[in-house]
Structure 1
């Protein structure tokens, strides 16, 4: 099991429906855009090393990533805090409106500097955008997440090839990066033991402000908020990695502590997450909207007609639309040619809308849709009645601190201590995940 988080100082971070399928997080263009795009950062990562002009990247002196350390932190930062061409070992200057995971990686290296070769870290290069651009085209949110997943797996594969069993990994993901690491972890946890990168290669996973946090799970070893991820609060299946996953979540951080049953917002963001918004080319947004709507309609139709029992099932049309908004989710390859469409229409409404064999079933389904819609969106009221509007932004950016004189025990400090404990276990030769 995962080593416990040590509780050294007062912890001020843990006061205090229906199961949904795993679908893509589309914080792309609404609430969480405010949370990360405008989040304050710092001028540079703490303790950054130096490099003479032309001498290569700025690598922190305590970063053992290039020398196959016992423990390699693979960190995926939040929105706007990375790029597709980022150097994974360079401590870059941070923009003022971005959050960054340097408050975990650098202090973890410094805390283990007495054991050279113990800890190293790499930052995952990926676009980290919400599809929002000013004068240039940028990837959509969903494309950005997909690129982050591919880049994370590429780093794991490359470092496993280079270092073999000498190095194990800790995955760290924040906000958008939390979704990236969430997806990587769920897939990697079900790999066979003889895979190139297997579950045994992962010492631990920490997800910070994760939009897929299961409702009510612990936050760094203490009781967590009762809500769950903004896009899904279902129990997560991490396979062999289940006992090595930690979550960090603050109350009212809407990314990881959102009300249940906010389906219409999920759907809206699912659509927006497939679109690009560029001031220099507004027609592109219109074209994207047309493409997304037509594609989702075709995918929804294929989903429905491939299931003979769909009209009698509890799955609503809203459920279907939320599911197919994740363009990485496969749908049946259903033949929807003219003959098949005519067959469906004749069954549902009959020739000339006079009624068909399935008309009573269709009408009952539509009546149930109305009641189900209210139930699926009952949590929207909580967004207004509870202090999400006032606290969501603050709580989403308040995980980070590297001030040794601060009396409070911040999440980033807890994570550093947890990683240091994992590093000690690696040095002492503890069994995988123990």
Structure 2
């Protein structure tokens, strides 16, 4: 492994066990640590509006439908931003782009700090909220970058930890908001806390991370991944796992205040629990997938998510807050497990397809790593659109029936679809299965 003064690594072969043991693991873990930090801050900035809307009382003049629309658009920009962020690692290098993407978070945070006061127009809030969406893009570039650092046998754990550490930015910003509200502070206090943290994350990435030379310049990988049907099949599944996590993270507090009449402070005491546990359990989903197979864990996760959603519908119709919150937390946990297991499936899919094409050894590993890294960015982008759908579904459900029941019925149907797709494509064993379609048990 050699590099120049700009921290470019010219040779990287994590599948070589000697290389991994003597050099690779230490370097990979260091890059993972600071990737997690930057992605964590990105998630916090992206989802900050899920708690800022709780600060926005009647004096701001926003209806519940306005708030759901605002969070939907923030989620949408975060999803769309993941596409160019996926290409950015190949264009600029993983370390370089981590520094840039972290620094860009200063823009939406400072803009929100400037406009967050009663009397600001809803259109202004929408425009500033859209800027926060760039925080959602950090996930795609981070996952693409870290995927290249780890060997296939460790990807489930590494990707789960990377994503889980980023996802935990959601409950952390909610806990920070709880502390600010409890201390009698306003939204500008919360925003002011994050400005120096962003600078620290960018500086640490600059000092401690590395670029991989064999990843840079391969902008065609995303194009090739987009042509593969498994990229889009896995996107459907990721809508169900990550889309649920991020959508519920944005919507949970608003559901509690709108449907159950909780105050912002009461809602803040509850909203962080689900995202926190869902984030912490994501590496567990990756570990389980490493051991038992990604498709098997993903299938049973979707079945359980369907059952939990049915219980949520019953609790919501009965107006029972405690069971509703308890089951919602379980749903967050399941989404976290599914996030880890579904992303573990992706490297395995492309590795098996490389072997099916007749590639062997390092050629197969390089091919699988190249396409899986690019595919993850696209899957992450489409999956985040699930969060948009969840917030829009809640908005329409509250406008139509005055509760979230209609939205939960739609989510239940989608989890059923995801269960069927997982089984049919990745677990079913027909007598003459085409060799190019991997069975991931």
Q: Which has the larger radius of gyration?
A: 1
- Global fold match (TM > 0.5): no
Q: Output the TM-score relative to the length of structure 2.
A: 0.23
Query: Which has a greater percent of helix?
Result: 2
Higher relative contact order (Cα pairs below 8 Å, separated by 6+ residues): 2
